[in-house]
Amino acid sequence: MNGEDVRLSHRVFIGLGSNLGDRHGRMRAALKLLDEHPQITLEKHTGFVETEPWGVQDQPDFLNAVACITTTLEPHALLAELKHIEKELGREKRNQKWGPREIDLDILLFGDLVIKTNNLVIPHERLTERQFILGQLLEIEENIFHPVHRVPLRNFLIPD
């Protein structure tokens, strides 16, 4: 290969959420930092949608979005970059699962990979339970398939 550094580019969907402080500002900053990363290209993202908290109800509403990126990073390296961005944008460590947070960046889908380790589960383990996330994913890519169930994600939508 002529000694060139040839890296495979992966198509990845990232969920973004924020319910503390300047939610809009943090979400925009997270998208900007993703796009400025040398190994990440922000292809497109949904608009911001206000949603009720999931899990722990006694907290402010969330602002959510989904971004589609391409990256040469492998899954665990991308996770590390997302955690770095969260920290840079002021995310504080809390012990309450599903509690309030300044910014949250989750890998929803990473191509058609299926990964289950202690610190990384792809596809996101609650992907099919969150209707707003399914709707936002389908807004970007209407024919996307669930890599485990091997059916279109739209099959998991609950009609209004």
pLDDT of residue 97: 64
106 is catalytic: yes
Instruction: Say whether 22 is catalytic.
Output: no
The confidence score (pLDDT) of residue 155 equals 94
Domain CATH code at residue 16: 3.30.70.560
Is residue 4 included in any domain, yes or no? no
Domain count, the chain: 1
Contacts of 95 (CB under 8 A, 6+ apart): none
As a whole number of angstroms, the distance between CA 99 and CA 91 comes to 12
Catalytic residue at 35?
Answer: no
Distance (Å, whole) CA 34 – CA 42: 7
Distance CA 10, CA 156 (A): 24
Quick one: pLDDT at residue 101? 82
Q: What's the pLDDT score for residue 103?
A: 93
In a domain, 26, yes or no: yes
d(CA 13, CA 118): 20
Question: Any idea which residue has 């969907």 for tokens?
Answer: 13
3 in a structural domain: no
Q: Which of 7, 101, 112, 150 is catalytic?
A: 101
Quick check: is 104 in a domain? yes
Handedness of CA 62, 63, 65, 71 (dihedral sign): negative
* 49 strand-pairing partners: 64
- Beta-carbon contacts of 73 under 8 Å, excluding residues fewer than 6 positions away, are 10, 39, 40, 81
Task: Write out the residue range of the structural domain in which residue 42 sits.
Answer: 10-156
Whether residue 5 lies inside any domain: the answer is: no
Is 119 a member of any domain? Answer: yes
Residue of 11, 104, 130, 150 marked active site: 104
From 91, 126, 150, 154, the catalytic residue:
91
- What are the residue ranges in the chain where pLDDT is below 70? 1-7, 55-56, 94-99
Whether residue 2 lies inside any domain: the answer is no
**pLDDT at position 2, please?**
41
**Cβ–Cβ under 8 Å, residues 126 and 146:** no
The pLDDT, as a whole number, for residue 93 is 74
pTM: 0.90
* 1 belongs to a structural domain: no
